[in-house]
Amino acid sequence: MIGLHAHTLFSDGALLPSELVRRAEAKGYEAFALTDHVDSSNIDFVLPRIVKVCKVLNRSWAIRSIPGVEITHVPVEEIGRLVKFARKNGAKVVLVHGETVSEPVLKGTNRAGIEAGCDILAHPGVISMDDVRLAKKRGVCLELTTRKNHASTNKRLYKLAKLAGAKLVLNTDAHDESDVATYAQALKVLKGIGMRRLDIEEVFENSRQLVKRVKG
């Protein structure tokens, strides 16, 4: 298993970075990204600490810890600048919090995140076919999720991505240990939206390719 979306107590998660990564390792994860919520107020505080702890953990543990951020609820015009700042300052995986049915994310956020070249547009349940096509063109992964408050739109996203040929990944959006899905739980979510075996394998492979790029 690979997880590329998780939150620690540096944003709205419950656990220290080390503890969250360790609990993921115990559930069979080979790579795990720490992607706390950031905006202009805290990115310069949170990101260096996540970069630091990932370096420490990678010296000792088999699981690959990946520093990242989730740019969340920011003015649309700020997204591009924050993506650049994150990459310049050590983020290896950059997520943008997409437009979702469960939160009042600003309209235009999906498009701005894709245009800024984020790695993953997180749980973008409210997404147009035009933006799905743009994600395909720009190589931005769209996120299916095991998190209940966002998962209701997984099936719609799968259908749109399938039509456009856009890349999908599956993440847990973990905020504590209970959110860190096992492989069996992940399969249940994907099969539950009607995804077939080859498509499931492709979803997991997309995550592996992201991790390979980080290592490179």
Q: Summarize pLDDT for 93-115 with one digit per residue, the tens.
A: 999 999 999 999 999 999 999 99
Backbone angles phi and psi of 32, in degrees to 5: -150, 125
User: 129-176, pLDDT tens digit by residue?
Assistant: 999 999 999 999 999 999 999 999 999 999 999 999 999 999 999 999
CATH number at residue 165: 3.20.20.140
Domain count, the chain: 1
Structural domain that includes position 74: 2-215
Q: pLDDT (tens digit, 9 = 90+) per residue, 16-54? A: 999 999 999 999 999 999 999 999 999 999 999 999 999
54: burial class by Cβ within 10 Å (0-12, 13-18, 19+)?
buried
Spatial contact of 32 and 65, defined as CB atoms under 8 Å apart? yes
